[in-house]
């Protein structure tokens, strides 16, 4: 079951504002930032519909960036992005939390450091992309878990979202979502089983 709520305003990406300067009307274009959408669930692994939507959007010609913070794989990371449909860039952490159990991570300081560093590398890449204006949609999968585990600073995420320069949507997924991020969202969707 999906329950969704959104703020009631809807604007096109480019609004034309007419400025009256004397007898002359000067139209000015102001680029609007896209919406911030949050998908929350009580359990991990419930975001396959968002990932399939990103693939559909890429096939329709939108430039999509999908970042999975807590999942990784062989030869993954910022330098080994997977490109699909010519428009979807899919990046996973080079050293992922999901490959190990939490006890193993806590007992191995070098492993914990490596996972932390690869997550920070991914986050720094995301910040640049959010400020570049190059993508129509950016999906930050399980970013709230990365915040909960102190890999990413919540205030850094808020600041980055407030200062982003993309005209497309930013989609954030996770379980325990901080209230101040919920207040920033244009749309909040709760996924239930």
Q: Give me Rg for the CA atoms of the chain.
A: 18
Question: pTM for the complete prediction?
Answer: 0.77
Q: What is the pLDDT of residues 62-95, one digit of tens each?
A: 999 999 888 776 678 888 888 888 899 999 887 7
* pLDDT value for 14: 38
Q: How confident is the model at residue 33 (pLDDT cuts 50, 70, 90)?
A: low
Q: Give the count of domains, the chain.
A: 1
* pLDDT value for 99: 63
Q: How confident is the model at residue 32 (pLDDT cuts 50, 70, 90)?
A: low
Beta bridge partners of 40: 174, 190
With a cut of 70, say whether residue 142 has pLDDT above it.
yes
Tokens 């910022």, residue located: 78
Rounded to 5°, angle at Cα 175 from 36 and 160: 35
Query: What is the domain range of residue 35?
Result: 2-191
CATH code of the domain in which 9 resides: 3.40.50.300
Q: How confident is the model at residue 190 (pLDDT cuts 50, 70, 90)?
A: confident
């Amino acid at each position: 079951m999906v329950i969704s709520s959104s703020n009631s305003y809807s604007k096109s990406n480019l609004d034309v504002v007419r400025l009256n300067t004397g007898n002359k009307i000067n139209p000015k274009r102001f680029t609007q930032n896209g919406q911030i959408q949050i998908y929350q669930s009580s359990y991990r692994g419930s975001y396959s519909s968002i990932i399939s939507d990103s693939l559909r959007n890429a096939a329709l010609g939108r430039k999509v960036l999908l970042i999975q913070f807590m999942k990784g794989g062989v030869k993954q990371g910022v330098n080994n992005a997977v490109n699909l449909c010519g428009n979807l860039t899919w990046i996973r952490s080079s050293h992922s939390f999901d490959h190990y159990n939490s006890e193993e991570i806590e007992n191995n300081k070098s492993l914990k450091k490596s996972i932390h560093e690869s997550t920070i590398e991914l986050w720094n890449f995301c910040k640049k992309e959010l400020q570049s204006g190059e993508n129509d949609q950016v999906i930050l999968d399980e970013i709230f878990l990365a915040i909960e585990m102190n890999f990413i600073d919540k205030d850094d995420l808020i600041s980055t979202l407030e200062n982003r320069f993309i005209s497309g949507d930013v989609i954030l997924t996770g379980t325990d979502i901080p209230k101040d991020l919920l207040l920033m969202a244009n749309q909040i969707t709760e996924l239930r089983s």
